[in-house]
Amino acid sequence: MAAEADVPLGSTTYHFASLDELLVAALRQAGEGFAAAVGESEALSDPGTDLAAELARLMGQWLGGERTGVELEYELYLAALRRPALRPVAAEWTDDVATALSARTDPATARALVALMDGICLQVLLTDAAYDEEYAREMLGRLLA
């Protein structure tokens, strides 16, 4: 892990007692970006704002950034499938975004929005397809209708 990060082994072993501890810290830091963008969005406090359009825009902004960083976030997120220590942190991300979205919709719809956004992002990353913001806006809008 230290070699992949291009840092001395001592740097990682000094700060983290185990690989799981290092991965938990990395996942927690990685998950803060998109969740923070959603949580800070004016669309959550302004009922006149088109929430579907704002979420689609935020996804486009996130996916349009450095692709390697987005891929790394999802690799860490999906590592929770094999590393139980990561599961609570992966759940924090979905819970944080769903909680933020609950300001504009009911909790069940908020969780469905998170699942849809996750699915769209994964499809874009796994297929190298271009992100279609209009499609995302329409699908998110259907859930909100």
Q: pLDDT class for 80, splitting at 50, 70, 90?
A: confident
Report, as an integer, the average pLDDT of 7-29: 65
Task: Give the span between the Cα atoms of 67 and 41, in whole angstroms.
Answer: 22
**Which of these ranges, 15-19, 69-73, 76-80, 119-123, has the smallest mean pLDDT?**
15-19
106 pLDDT band, cuts 50/70/90, is very high
> Could you tell me the fold of the domain covering 19-144?
Tetracycline Repressor; domain 2 (1.10.357)
49-58, 63-72, 89-98, 113-122: least confidently modelled range: 63-72
- Tokens encoding 124: 């874009």
Q: Quick check: 36 pLDDT over 50? A: yes
How many Cα neighbours within 13 Å face the side chain of 1?
Answer: 13
57 CB-near residues (< 8 Å, 6+ apart): 133
Residue 5 has pLDDT above 50, yes or no: no
Which pLDDT does position 13 carry in this prediction? Answer: 58
**Contact predicate 105/144, CB 8 Å:** yes
d(CA 78, CA 88) in angstroms, rounded, equals: 12
Cβ 26 vs Cβ 103: under 8 Å: no
Q: What are the residue ranges spanned by the domains of the chain?
A: 19-144
Instruction: Reply yes or no on whether the pLDDT at 73 is more than 50.
Output: yes
Higher-pLDDT residue of 71, 59: 59
Return d(Cα 36, Cα 105) in angstroms, integer.
18
Of the two residues 71 and 115, the one the predictor is more confident about is 115
Whether this prediction's pTM lies above 0.85 is answered by no
